[in-house]
């Protein structure tokens, strides 16, 4: 799988995941998004397995390990936070403290993901200027 096909695969999975989650929340089912998240995780895993990126050079191993650690941390926090959000929404039935906590968790996951994207773009631009 080429890099372009890999990016298209990831984009398609994210679009389907977003539509599925929005639809299930609109109909009031807060547990179905957990299944969608896990299935999209499996889809991303298979896309990643089919994609064979070139390995980094020996002198770049430290940067690659740090980047992988940061990426996995954000992915794990995002999935656990999303699952926690839907579980708390389902338990709370849109009332009380649990619903407020679920909203806080949802917004924190979104903030971390957006911050990661913006920092990545900034660092790429800064690296290309050198």
Please give the pLDDT value at position 77.
92
Domain that holds residue 101: 66-130
Does one domain contain both 4 and 26?
yes
The residue out of 33, 54, 75 marking a domain boundary is 54
Structure tokens at 66: 């740090």
Domains in the chain, number: 2
Q: Do 81 and 26 belong to one domain?
A: no
User: What pLDDT digit, counting tens, does each position of 65-115 carry?
Assistant: 788 888 889 989 999 999 999 999 888 877 788 888 988 999 999 999 888
Beta carbons of 72 and 96 less than 8 angstroms apart: no
- Mean pLDDT, rounded, of the chain: 86
The verdict on residue 130 lying in a domain is yes
Q: Is residue 59 part of a domain?
A: no
Q: Is residue 128 part of a domain?
A: yes
Co-location of 127 and 84 in the same domain: yes
3-class secondary structure per residue, 62-80? HHHHHHHHHHHHHHHHHHH
Query: Are 91 and 113 in the same domain?
Result: yes
Res 55: pLDDT: 59
* Residue 52 reports pLDDT greater than 80: no
């Amino acid at each position: 799988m080429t890099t372009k096909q890999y990016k298209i695969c990831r984009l398609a999975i994210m679009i389907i995941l977003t539509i599925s989650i929005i639809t299930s929340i609109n109909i009031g089912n807060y547990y179905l998004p957990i299944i969608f998240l896990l299935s999209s995780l499996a889809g991303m895993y298979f896309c990643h397995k089919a994609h064979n990126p070139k390995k980094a050079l020996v002198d770049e191993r430290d940067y690659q390990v740090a980047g992988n650690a940061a990426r996995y941390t954000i992915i794990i926090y995002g999935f656990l936070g999303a699952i926690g959000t839907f579980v708390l929404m389902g338990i709370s039935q849109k009332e009380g403290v649990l619903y407020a906590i679920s909203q806080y968790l949802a917004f924190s996951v979104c903030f971390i993901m957006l911050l990661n994207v913006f920092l990545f773009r900034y660092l790429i631009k800064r690296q290309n200027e050198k």
